[in-house]
Amino acid sequence: MFRMLAKASVTLDSRAAGWIQTMGSHQLLVPPPEALSKPLSVPTRLLLSPGPSNLAPRVLAAGSLRMIGHMQKEMLQIMEEIKQGIQYVFQTRNPLTLVVSGSGHCAMETALFNLLEPGDSFLIGTNGIWGMRAAEIADRIGARVHQMIKKPGEHYTLQEVEEGLAQHKPVLLFLAHGESSTGVVQPLDGFGELCHRYQCLFLVDSVASLGGVPIYMDQQGIDIMYASSQKVLNAPPGISLISFNDKAKFKVYSRKTKPVSFYTDIKYLAKLWGCEGKTRVIHHTTPVTSLYCLRESLALIAEQGLENCWRRHREATAHLHKHLQEMGLKFFVKDPEIRLPTITTVIVPAGYNWRDIVSYVLDHFSIEISGGLGPTEEKVLRIGLLGYNATTENVDRVVEALREALQRCPKNKL
């Protein structure tokens, strides 16, 4: 017996050696990157672009907490608290409220992939890049896309939207509440009621406005709304918030075809996030650390109070606008009533290159601002006052930087 075991052992050892030799039968062609042998270095900056924004110290600390399993009871409790926080900042009681493991673009796709089927009529307010993006996504789905195109810097009236509803009979209307590419805030009162008279669902993009501008999902008749983590919420980029009311849920759950994306299928996400009862179903591994941070960012807004948060953004932006006017700068959005409090767009002064101004402010003051995006590219400077960063002290810093940049940057003679 012993001899048989010894013989079997020799045989197994030779096989194991063969397996090891097979696994290592090729030489490595790519050496370890030299850059990864050095410590990670990240500069200290004040982020006053349209996003991402600086993390509050409490949110930053949350990102260093210990990892736990994404389906453990402690994590599920954190997810429940996050859902309650979203319901607060959205001002909704919708049970189908959750986090999407992806940026604001992913939230937009989650909404459109679940709500639209091939052939559905879709009406879009296109007065900036986000209407353009919604149209692009819907076209890929095979929806019949109808864009109400307006000049960047303008907003939509109830009459204009009603004309579109009557003409195209859409199942869904898209409006961006905060159009970050142009700096417009879209009034929302009355649009939900108007949509419902035409048996149309109302979808709102609040990525650039949530937490900085009043919005009331339930009271304003918004059927679907989404936002993202990296702007006023001051959480790391890469996750987003979304909510569907019962009307929108019925549209999703009565589809004739499956959504084009498995990853953003709201039926699976609802089960993962406990929106369909106590039983949860694993769909994907959620970004645990990012959820810690989001939980804390929502807690900070809850402690401060939404109305106080809105007021702080309004006051900081008024302070910024006062100084910009004193410097002789012109606002891209002509009507003061529709200027977005979280992101200000200023026309690049004649003779200047916007890149020179942005680079000077960054290089000499360690402050990030940005140029235009989409229809405002090359035309404007964009300054973000988002959440934790919306203070008069930060306004004074960026104003000083802009004033010096305009004095020192080259100016072409026209």
For residues 317, 227, 55 and 400, what is the CA-based torsion angle, rounded to 10 degrees? -20
Are β-strands 343-347 and 240-244 bridged in parallel, bridged antiparallel, or unpaired? Answer: unpaired
Q: How far apart are CA 385 and CA 371, in angstroms?
A: 15
Q: How far apart are CA 51 and CA 73, in angstroms?
A: 33
Q: How far apart are CA 227 and CA 207, in angstroms?
A: 4
Q: Where are the alpha helices (DSSP H) in 169-244?
A: 191-197
CA angle 25, 28, 30 (to 5 degrees): 160
In which order are the strands placed within the sheet that holds 343-347? 343-347, 380-384, 370-371
* Chain centroid to CA 238: 8
**Residue 382 assigned as binding residue:** yes
Under 8 Å between Cβ of 125 and 175 = yes
Under 8 Å between Cβ of 212 and 233 = no
Binding-site residues for substrate: 382
Indicate the annotated binding residues. Answer: 382
